[in-house]
Amino acid sequence: MNEVALNKIKTFFLFTFLAFSLTMLTACAGQKDDIKTGARSHAWNSSSLVGTWKNDKNSIFQILSVNNSTGDLTGAYTNYAAGTSCQGVAYLATGYTAGSYITFTVDWLQSATCTASSTVWNGSYTKTTMTAPWTLYNANGGIIKSGTDVFTKQ
């Protein structure tokens, strides 16, 4: 790997870490911890996230589980956005929620119809709506495209 590619990867990870840290610091500001048990109290019951969310581009984010103690979430994301690759296949989505904030990542695996890349969403949600700006990164950490998705709970 050449030095330019290595620097791009380092920059990508630094940017992702800083964006995630800022999101989590903001989200955790209003939380209370239980000193006796060490459990984290979410300002919002994150179990309301579990279920199917459809965005304004017809893609489906199926949140399968949320750990209310840690905020970790897992699910599947199926892209149906017109004019994009990686369509119609459910990809693993992992992330974190705190309060009404959410961040999650999908790693798009290299295939005949999909270029290896990753998308990171950082946003907020209510019981029925999730608004999440996103950034699509190439395998070297360079930004390909960004935008905002608005999801509605189905």
- Residue 100 CB neighbours (<10 A): 18
- The pLDDT-based confidence of 57 (bands split at 50, 70, 90) is very high
Token duo for residue 132? 């999440």
pTM, two decimal places: 0.72
Fold designation for 3-153: Lipocalin (2.40.128)
pLDDT digits (tens, 9 = 90+) for 3-40: 554 455 544 444 444 444 444 444 444 444 444 444 44
d(CA 81, CA 60): 10
Token duo for residue 111? 């295939």
pLDDT digits (tens, 9 = 90+) for 101-154: 999 999 998 887 788 999 999 999 999 999 999 999 998 889 999 999 999 999
- Domain spans of the chain? 3-153
pLDDT digits (tens, 9 = 90+) for 58-101: 999 999 999 988 999 999 999 999 998 899 999 999 999 998 99
- Residue 30 φ then ψ, to 5°: -95, 10
Q: Could you tell me the maximum CA-CA distance found in the chain, to the nearest angstrom? A: 52
